[in-house]
A and B are shown apart, each in its own frame.
Chain A
């Protein structure tokens, strides 16, 4: 079945880069997404990558996609305390209209 896995926790020092990893199982996924959730809030679409791309950069964010290994990563450069949040990796399910399959989320803690 469809499954998305992420490491649960990452701690980084302010100013360093953060790398959050994700693996997925559905090789037919057309889009893969990264969402950010701040405490007590809904999910905010952070960035996405189309399956025929290897990399996408958007300001401090870099998404890398290894389709062969079904591995997705999100790199945040110059991590700030405001980046502390939970980051969810998601893939579009092949089975339903815009149905997304989410990973468990990676809690990013940024310390001084």
Chain B
């Protein structure tokens, strides 16, 4: 399966600041990446689909101006949480679709964000 990394693994920031989270596909090129958020003891909620060279597709209820996604290359997608507030504190996970025909996804290790 694909190897996916995320940076940073955790971040603490002050309310009102912006935070950038990187997702990298280390061993193959990905035209699509997915961004999820996970609240404690809850499932993953798909936030958006990141598309290389074009605009991201956001799920219903996700503010695109709040969560900026840039898929700058075939191996890198970034999620920027703008003007972060405590309610944005969560575990953010990215994933890359597999290419083996299983139609599955390979997940990064996640980034824990705490907004004070």
With A33-B104, A45-B1: A96-B93 Cβ-Cβ less than 8 Å: no
Contact between B112 and A40 (Cβ–Cβ < 8 Å)?
yes
Stretch at the interface among A52-60, A73-81, A98-106: A98-106
List B contacts of A99 (CB < 8 A). Answer: 34, 46, 49
Decide yes or no whether B8 CB sits under 8 A from chain A.
no
Q: How far is the CA of A88 from the CA of B43 in the complex (A)?
A: 8
Number of A-B contacts (CB under 8 A): 58
Specify the main secondary structure of chain B where it touches its partner. strand
Contact code string B22-46 (vs A, CB < 8 Å = 1, else 0)? 0000000000101000000111101
Decide yes or no whether B67 CB sits under 8 A from chain A.
no
Contact between B108 and A42 (Cβ–Cβ < 8 Å)?
yes
Q: What is the size category of the interface that chain B forms with chain A?
A: 20 to 34
Contact between B103 and A98 (Cβ–Cβ < 8 Å)?
yes
List A contacts of B42 (CB < 8 A). Answer: 104-105
Contact between A96 and B49 (Cβ–Cβ < 8 Å)?
yes
Q: Which residues of A contact B (CB under 8 A)?
A: 30-31, 33, 35, 40-45, 48, 88, 92, 96-100, 102-105, 107
List of 8 A-B pairs having minimum Cβ-Cβ separation, nearest first: A42-B107, A98-B97, A43-B107, A42-B109, A104-B43, A102-B43, A42-B110, A102-B44
